[in-house]
């Protein structure tokens, strides 16, 4: 009861004015003698007068809330200093804070990161992380803190673990702040919107950011949170960015006045609790207090928020936005390979399916692990952990089992969508309670105890009934997506019309988001994709928000894009045009048709069009062109031009190689038709290539080999980690005209020297060409070899060496 | 001595600009069609599927720095005047290691065998830059913790094989970071296997 009263008091206060937090503690402690490498918490217990003085100074400066000095007072951090009395240390430091500031200033129990990443991002098991924080919170609560603050989190999953521990271990007002790097993401890649959506839906009473940046840079992060907030925001920036001094030390240089100058803008964005982090002092807090006197943060703009999140990003179901696609592939029904994988406890296939669907344009991923006879709870948790790392997309937890849903939501590092909640079953209450506990959104399936309602009117009644029940759990319409409940047209020709009426009513009259499991409509019919596509377009025109579909169905995805344009959800058809932008090159073939055949062959090499070179060369041969003339008159000039473009940096490496591979394809095609005889046949020039013994880096050598082959030389590539003996043996056997060696590292380049010396001792006279990241022309010369920096230069140097050899 | 910190999953986006640059792309000079850019971008994304980024780090105090090298606890000494100059004034250093795992190396070899060397070089560059970015990530992690102690990492880092810092010292760094726990081994010539694995050292400065 006491906790509830405190919580309501803080909520009331933050509605009336921006509450002032304290400033930096760590740097203040160092100023007061905390030795480097010492445990701040135990040092404070040994020097209580120092931390008391800091608390008092902040209270005197105007802080409404000060943080206990317990940032690292968790089991894992304290163990590094040989301490294990977690509850006692937290309790003592909380009491110390209270004694320092009395009752007029509130005391926030400070919870920092453990220093470990939590699964699925690290080694620390999620429930162990919850237990670690719970133990710390028990100590803080027994020390009489007024509220809790989870701060400086880099890992959203660790922040979730701490927040769950706070909610399950106390009824106190809890703030959660993460630390965002300059690019606006946490170190683990969570953006500000995702952090806000995840933490506020999980029950944080205020969400925000601290540390890492100064107020100017933090403003962008706060702006990203501002429009999605349902709770007050928190900001605790550093005193500017650290600057390196000539003596090698760094300082935060922002003055108290400069720092405080940002306060009002923060408040206008919804910041209801503001203080300072690294480099800030009681003077900064005093200036901030003065500047924010009377500043009232605007009320959060949203009563409810239709949004889900992954560990990386948030997805808001905005009115008038393009239709969203939930990828349906991660479902073992009818997929024996996925069933087999899930039975064996592996998740690689699910990860691959997730990545494929993400690339194909899915916005969310449905996850169903309904294989009979397996532990679905553990399997779901395992798949969700894998997908949370493998994909950026938010997940849809698809199960009929409340226990599977609970296990999935607890471990999922974001705000999930539950598929689904339906009426007429006992499980509805269990799923609603779980959804409430973890703050998830859910799909409302208008089923009743009598089964599937056939008519629109019956469905409408079912929706209203389930929604009324959900409201009692605190849900709003923003938390719900209504399923139109698609039935197959083959068994009931009227069913699609009832579905469409349901979608239209739910979207336009009931003002809820809507969804269709699309493929059911075509069940039992041939060429199902056309029925699916037509139905999707019809539903789009009725206001459909999201469809469960297979994003690999290209026609369907094209239709969706077209539907977005025609329903005004893709203004200026920007997304539609962008989707087909690469196909604008279809204009190119028309132009290409206008080119002569020789010009087209040349272009194919220059543009690296490997797929068309054979066909073009066949056409040329059929037209009576001589193969040798094609090679010397078209292909070689083309690849020479590519080499020039590469040297001028007009082409970069992938283009050079694509052209070289096209050339190689062309040469291979022409080879059987080329008549030998007269003059020296260039293919009789043998070049042995190898990456030397002890070295495993061969990409550079492979490029040089490709370029030399394109000149018509016979290249014998011995691979990597090749002994001097083997190289010399092959060079002798093949009567090599030249040997090319590569090495990347300083420790292996000596093998080049060894190989050259041994070759000379054994009477091998052919020239050596060497290259690699650490090789220089002078070093090459010192071992009696020539140097080439890349494939293009290698071609030139080899030409010179062979010419010289011939003239000798 | 402090313990080694292991990072089992490093989640980062491909640093595309750095990957393109590594491949020789110059913004104002290189002519790249939309189709070619798409091919490169898709290959980078494919590379991401094959990269399993993991890392390790270790904070160590510096026992002494003289003109010829630095001495660390446990009898570790790095003889390198340039490293000593780089770390001058630092009382602590951070050793870091990262790997992209073996899967990406197999993918590069497969592309090469299938005569798609253009794809292989893009994967190779993506892997190199992602592993390098993992060291930035590890540095970022430590900077977040050090900031509260009034310290930060130097902006640059140094690796065995640079200047007069002999590559063979990578063996000591490998042992200190217990990189075998990341599935990385080291050859007689101090080459890390799998190939896309790196180590580095940087200094810690005080505010």
The pLDDT tens digits for B160-205 are: 999 999 999 999 999 999 999 999 999 999 999 999 999 999 999 8
Has residue A363 got a pLDDT over 90? yes
Dihedral of the alpha carbons of A344, A349, A350, A351, in degrees to the nearest 10: 120
Domain boundary (A291, A326, A343) is at: A291
For chain A, say whether B26 makes contact (Cβ under 8 Å).
yes
Question: How far lies A18's CA from each of A83, A208, A288, in Å?
Answer: 38, 14, 11
Statement to judge: residues A643 and A687 lie in one domain: no
- Helix spans in A391-449 (H): 402-411, 427-438
| Average pLDDT value for residue range A383-406 | 95
Contacts of B195 in chain A (CB under 8 A): 696-697
Please indicate, yes or no, if residue A146 is contained in any of the structural domains. yes
**CATH number of the domain that A196 lies in?**
3.20.20.330
| Average pLDDT value for residue range A739-745 | 92
Please indicate, yes or no, if residue A577 is contained in any of the structural domains. no
Domains and CATH numbers, chain B: 5-206 (3.40.109.40)
Determine phi and psi for A481, rounding to 5 degrees.
-125, 125
Mutate to test the interface with A, among B8, B9, B11 (most CBs of A within 10 A): B11
What angle do helix axes A597-606 and A636-647 make, rounded to 10 degrees? 40
Contacts of A353 in chain B (CB under 8 A): none
- What one-character DSSP code corresponds to residue B158? B
Domain boundary (A632, A649, A673) is at: A673
Statement to judge: residues A445 and A519 lie in one domain: yes
Q: Is A114 exposed, middle or buried (0-12, 13-18, 19+ CB in 10 A)?
A: buried
Q: Given the structure tokens 């271990």, which residue do they identify?
A: A169
For chain A, say whether B4 makes contact (Cβ under 8 Å).
no
Please indicate, yes or no, if residue A299 is contained in any of the structural domains. no
pLDDT (tens digit per residue) in A488-509: 999 889 999 999 999 999 999 9
Contact A608 B145 (CB under 8 A): no
In sequence order, what E strands does chain B have? 5-7, 54-61, 64-66, 69-72, 76-79, 92-99, 151-153, 185-186, 192-193, 197-206
Q: What is the DSSP string of A663-716?
A: HHHHHHHHGGGPPP-SS--GGG-EEEEEEBTT----HHHHHHHHHHHHTT-EEE
Mutate to test the interface with A, among B17, B21, B150, B154 (most CBs of A within 10 A): B150
Q: Please name the residue of chain A whose CA is at the shortest distance from the CA of residue B119.
A: A654
Structural tokens at position A346: 């592996």
Contact B8 A122 (CB under 8 A): yes
Statement to judge: residues A384 and A430 lie in one domain: yes
Question: Quick one: which of A363, A305, A314 has its CA closest to A191?
Answer: A314
Structural tokens at position A60: 């005197």
B127/B111 Cα distance (integer angstroms): 14
A752/A40 Cα distance (integer angstroms): 55
A405/A270 Cα distance (integer angstroms): 34
Has residue A226 got a pLDDT over 50? yes
Contact B148 A252 (CB under 8 A): no
Q: Which of A212, A585, A694 sits opposite B35 (nearest CB)?
A: A585
A487/A485 Cα distance (integer angstroms): 6
Contact A584 B24 (CB under 8 A): no
pLDDT, residue B1, reads: 55
A138/A553 Cα distance (integer angstroms): 53
Domain containing A472 equals 307-568
Are A165 and A140 within 8 A, CB to CB?
no
Please indicate, yes or no, if residue A574 is contained in any of the structural domains. no
pLDDT (tens digit per residue) in A25-39: 988 898 899 987 789
pLDDT (tens digit per residue) in A669-714: 998 887 765 556 777 899 999 999 998 888 889 999 999 988 889 9
| Ramachandran assignment for A535, one of left (phi > 0), alpha (psi -120 to 50 degrees), beta (any other) | alpha
Q: Residues 6 or more apart from A733 whose CB is under 8 A from it?
A: none
Higher model confidence: residue A258 or residue B146?
A258
A601/A614 Cα distance (integer angstroms): 9
Domain boundary (A291, A325, A350) is at: A291
Domain count across chain A: 4
For chain A, say whether B67 makes contact (Cβ under 8 Å).
no
Statement to judge: residues A664 and A756 lie in one domain: no
- Taking the CA of residue A125 and the nearest CA in chain B, the distance in Å comes to 12
**How many residue contacts between A and B have a Cβ separation below 8 Å?**
172
Statement to judge: residues A334 and A385 lie in one domain: yes
Determine phi and psi for A128, rounding to 5 degrees.
-70, -40
Q: What is the 3-state secondary structure (H, E, C) of A439-472?
A: CCEEEEECCECCECCCCHHHHHHHHHHHHHHHHC
Statement to judge: residues A796 and A713 lie in one domain: yes
Please indicate, yes or no, if residue A575 is contained in any of the structural domains. no
Contact A248 B12 (CB under 8 A): no
Residue percentage of chain B with pLDDT more than 70: 99
Using DSSP's 3-state secondary structure scheme, residue A226 falls into: helix
Determine phi and psi for A595, rounding to 5 degrees.
-80, 155
Contacts of B138 in chain A (CB under 8 A): none
Contact B32 A652 (CB under 8 A): yes
Structural tokens at position A449: 């105890």
Contacts of A650 in chain B (CB under 8 A): 29-31
Q: Please name the residue of chain B whose CA is at the shortest distance from the CA of residue A648.
A: B29
A702/A393 Cα distance (integer angstroms): 37
Q: Which of B7, B144, B188 sits opposite A122 (nearest CB)?
A: B7
Q: Given the structure tokens 């940087």, which residue do they identify?
A: B202
- Taking the CA of residue B67 and the nearest CA in chain A, the distance in Å comes to 18
Please indicate, yes or no, if residue A393 is contained in any of the structural domains. yes
Give the least confident one: A258-267, A591-600, A638-647, A658-667. A591-600
A202/A352 Cα distance (integer angstroms): 29
Are A739 and A788 within 8 A, CB to CB?
no
A73/A90 Cα distance (integer angstroms): 7
pLDDT (tens digit per residue) in A161-172: 999 999 999 999
Higher model confidence: residue B7 or residue B2?
B7
DSSP tally for chain B: helices H, then strands E: 6, 10
Contacts of B20 in chain A (CB under 8 A): 652
A538/A449 Cα distance (integer angstroms): 30
Write b or e for each residue in A264-287: b if 16 or more Cβ atoms lie within 10 A of its Cβ, otherwise e. Answer: eebbebbbbbbbbbbbbbbbbbbb
Statement to judge: residues A425 and A537 lie in one domain: yes
- Taking the CA of residue A278 and the nearest CA in chain B, the distance in Å comes to 6
Q: Is A2 exposed, middle or buried (0-12, 13-18, 19+ CB in 10 A)?
A: exposed
In sequence order, what E strands does A296-381 have? 307-309, 314-316, 324-327, 364-367
Are A770 and A787 within 8 A, CB to CB?
yes
Round to the nearest angstrom and report the end-to-end CA distance of chain B.
24
Q: For chain A, what is the mean pLDDT?
A: 92
Contacts of B8 in chain A (CB under 8 A): 117, 121-123
- Strands B197-206 and B192-193, sheet pairing: unpaired
**CATH number of the domain that A408 lies in?**
3.20.20.20
pLDDT range class, residue A244, cuts 50, 70, 90: low
On the CB side of A345, CA atoms within 13 Å amount to: 2
Statement to judge: residues A688 and A775 lie in one domain: yes
pLDDT, residue A322, reads: 96
Write b or e for each residue in A55-87: b if 16 or more Cβ atoms lie within 10 A of its Cβ, otherwise e. Answer: bbbbbebbbbbbbbbbbbbbbbbbeeeebeebb
Q: What is the ipTM score, two decimals?
A: 0.92
Contact B187 A694 (CB under 8 A): yes
Contacts of A607 in chain B (CB under 8 A): 33
B152/B139 Cα distance (integer angstroms): 9
Statement to judge: residues A137 and A217 lie in one domain: yes
Contacts of B31 in chain A (CB under 8 A): 645, 650-651
A484/A511 Cα distance (integer angstroms): 14
Q: Please name the residue of chain A whose CA is at the shortest distance from the CA of residue B194.
A: A696
Q: Given the structure tokens 């062309």, which residue do they identify?
A: A666
Statement to judge: residues A385 and A266 lie in one domain: no
Statement to judge: residues A694 and A628 lie in one domain: no
Statement to judge: residues A466 and A552 lie in one domain: yes
- Taking the CA of residue A312 and the nearest CA in chain B, the distance in Å comes to 10
Question: Quick one: which of B121, B101, B123 has its CA closest to B197?
Answer: B101
Please indicate, yes or no, if residue A459 is contained in any of the structural domains. yes
A754/A728 Cα distance (integer angstroms): 11
For chain A, say whether B1 makes contact (Cβ under 8 Å).
no
- Taking the CA of residue A212 and the nearest CA in chain B, the distance in Å comes to 7
pLDDT (tens digit per residue) in B33-85: 888 898 899 999 999 989 999 999 999 999 999 989 999 999 999 999 999 99
Has residue A592 got a pLDDT over 60? no
pLDDT (tens digit per residue) in A61-95: 999 999 999 999 999 999 989 999 999 999 999 99
Are A465 and A472 within 8 A, CB to CB?
no
For chain A, say whether B33 makes contact (Cβ under 8 Å).
yes
A380/A67 Cα distance (integer angstroms): 39
**CATH number of the domain that A631 lies in?**
1.10.1240.10
Please indicate, yes or no, if residue A499 is contained in any of the structural domains. yes
- Taking the CA of residue A242 and the nearest CA in chain B, the distance in Å comes to 8
For chain A, say whether B31 makes contact (Cβ under 8 Å).
yes
pLDDT range class, residue A583, cuts 50, 70, 90: very low
Question: How far lies B18's CA from each of A612, A729, B13, B119, B122, in Å?
Answer: 32, 41, 12, 17, 12
Contact B167 A702 (CB under 8 A): no
| Ramachandran assignment for A558, one of left (phi > 0), alpha (psi -120 to 50 degrees), beta (any other) | alpha
């Amino acid at each position: 009861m006491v906790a509830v009263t405190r919580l309501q008091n803080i909520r009331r206060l933050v509605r009336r004015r921006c509450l002032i937090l304290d400033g930096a503690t760590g740097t203040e402690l160092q100023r007061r003698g905390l030795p480097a490498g010492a445990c701040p918490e135990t040092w404070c217990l040994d020097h209580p007068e120092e931390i008391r003085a800091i608390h008092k100074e902040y209270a005197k400066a105007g802080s409404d809330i000060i943080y206990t000095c317990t940032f690292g007072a968790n089991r894992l951090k304290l163990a590094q200093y040989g301490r294990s009395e977690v509850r006692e240390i937290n309790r003592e430091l909380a009491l110390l804070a209270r004694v320092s500031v009395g009752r007029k200033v509130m005391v926030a129990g400070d919870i920092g990161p453990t220093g470990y990443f939590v699964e699925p991002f690290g080694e620390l098991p999620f429930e162990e992380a919850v237990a670690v924080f719970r133990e710390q919170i028990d100590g803080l609560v027994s020390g009489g803190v007024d509220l809790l603050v989870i701060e400086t989190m880099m890992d959203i999953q660790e922040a979730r673990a701490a927040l769950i521990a706070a909610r399950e271990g106390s009824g106190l007002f809890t703030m959660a702040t993460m630390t965002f790097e300059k690019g606006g993401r946490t170190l683990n890649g969570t953006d500000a919107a995702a952090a806000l959506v995840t933490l506020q839906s999980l029950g944080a009473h205020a969400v925000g950011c601290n540390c890492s940046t100064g107020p100017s840079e933090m403003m962008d992060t706060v702006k990203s949170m501002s429009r999605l907030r349902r709770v007050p925001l928190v900001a605790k920036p550093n005193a500017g960015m650290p600057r390196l001094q000539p003596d090698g030390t760094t300082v935060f240089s922002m003055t108290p006045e400069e720092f405080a100058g940002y306060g009002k803008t923060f408040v206008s964005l919804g910041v209801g609790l503001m203080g300072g982090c690294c480099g800030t002092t009681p003077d900064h807090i005093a200036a901030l207090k003065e500047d924010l006197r009377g500043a009232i943060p605007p009320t959060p703009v949203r009563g409810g928020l239709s949004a889900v999140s992954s560990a990386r990003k948030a997805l808001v179901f905005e009115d008038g936005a393009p239709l969203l696609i939930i990828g349906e592939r991660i479902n073992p029904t009818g997929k024996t390979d996925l069933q087999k994988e899930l039975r064996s406890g592996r998740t690689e296939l699910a990860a691959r399916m997730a990545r494929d669907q993400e690339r194909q344009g899915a916005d969310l991923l449905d996850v169903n692990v309904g294989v009979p006879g397996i532990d679905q709870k553990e399997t779901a948790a395992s798949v969700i952990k894998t997908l949370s790392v493998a994909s950026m997309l938010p997940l849809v937890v698809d199960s009929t089992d409340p226990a599977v849903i609970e296990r999935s939501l607890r471990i999922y590092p974001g705000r999930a969508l539950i598929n689904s909640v339906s009426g007429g079953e006992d499980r509805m209450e269990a799923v609603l309670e779980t959804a409430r506990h973890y703050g998830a959104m859910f799909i409302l399936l208008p089923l009743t105890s009598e089964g599937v309602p056939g008519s629109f009117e019956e469905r409408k009644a079912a929706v209203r009934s389930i929604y009324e029940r959900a409201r009692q759990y605190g849900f709003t319409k923003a938390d719900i997506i209504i399923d139109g409940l698609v039935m197959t047209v083959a068994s009931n020709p009227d069913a699609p019309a009832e579905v469409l009426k349901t979608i239209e009513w739910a979207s336009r009259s009931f003002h809820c988001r809507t969804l269709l499991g699309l493929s059911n409509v075509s069940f039992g019919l041939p060429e199902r994709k056309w029925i699916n596509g037509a139905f999707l377009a019809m539903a789009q025109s009725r206001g459909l928000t999201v469809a469960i579909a297979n994003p690999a169905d290209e026609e369907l995805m094209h239709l969706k894009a077209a539907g977005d344009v025609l329903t005004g959800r893709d203004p200026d058809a920007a997304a539609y045009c962008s989707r087909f932008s690469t196909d604008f090159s279809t204009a190119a073939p028309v132009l290409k048709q206008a080119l002569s055949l020789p010009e087209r062959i040349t272009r194919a090499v220059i543009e690296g069009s490997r797929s068309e070179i054979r066909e073009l060369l066949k056409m040329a041969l059929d037209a009576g062109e001589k193969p040798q003339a094609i090679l010397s008159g078209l292909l070689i000039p083309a690849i020479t031009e590519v080499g020039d473009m590469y040297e001028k940096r007009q082409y970069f490496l992938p283009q050079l190689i694509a052209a070289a591979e096209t050339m190689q394809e062309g040469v291979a095609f022409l080879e059987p038709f080329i008549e030998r005889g007269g003059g020296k046949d260039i293919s009789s020039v043998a070049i042995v290539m190898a990456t030397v013994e002890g070295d495993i880096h061969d990409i550079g050598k492979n490029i040089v080999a490709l370029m030399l082959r394109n000149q018509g030389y016979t290249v014998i590539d011995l691979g990597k980690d090749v002994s001097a003996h083997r190289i010399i043996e092959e060079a002798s056997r093949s009567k090599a005209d030249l040997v090319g060696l590569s090495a990347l590292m300083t420790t292996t380049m000596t093998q080049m020297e060894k190989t050259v010396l041994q070759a000379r001792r054994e009477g091998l006279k052919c020239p050596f060409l060497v290259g690699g990241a650490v090789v220089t022309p002078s070093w090459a010369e010192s071992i009696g070899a020539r140097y080439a920096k890349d494939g293009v230069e290698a071609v030139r140097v080899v030409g010179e060496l062979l010419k010289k050899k011939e003239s000798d | 001595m402090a313990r080694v910190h292991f990072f089992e999953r490093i989640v980062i986006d491909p640093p595309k600009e750095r990957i393109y640059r590594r491949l020789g792309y110059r913004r104002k000079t290189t002519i790249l069609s939309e189709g070619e850019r798409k091919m490169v971008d898709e290959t980078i994304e494919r590379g991401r599927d094959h990269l399993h980024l993991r890392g390790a780090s270790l904070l160590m105090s510096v026992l002494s720095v003289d003109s010829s090298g630095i001495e660390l606890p446990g009898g570790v000494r790095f003889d390198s005047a340039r490293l000593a100059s780089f770390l001058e004034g630092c009382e602590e250093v951070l050793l870091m290691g990262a790997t992209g795992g073996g899967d990406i190396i197999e993918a590069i070899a497969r592309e090469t065998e299938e005569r798609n060397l253009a794809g292989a070089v893009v994967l190779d560059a993506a892997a190199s830059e992602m592993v390098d970015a993992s060291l930035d990530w590890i540095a970022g992690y430590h900077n977040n913790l050090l900031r509260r102690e009034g310290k930060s990492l130097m902006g640059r880092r140094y690796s065995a094989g640079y200047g007069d810092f002999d590559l063979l010292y990578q063996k000591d760094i490998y042992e200190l970071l217990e990189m075998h726990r990341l599935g990385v081994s080291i050859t007689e010539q101090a080459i890390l296997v799998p190939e896309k694995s790196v180590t580095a050292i940087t200094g810690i400065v005080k505010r």
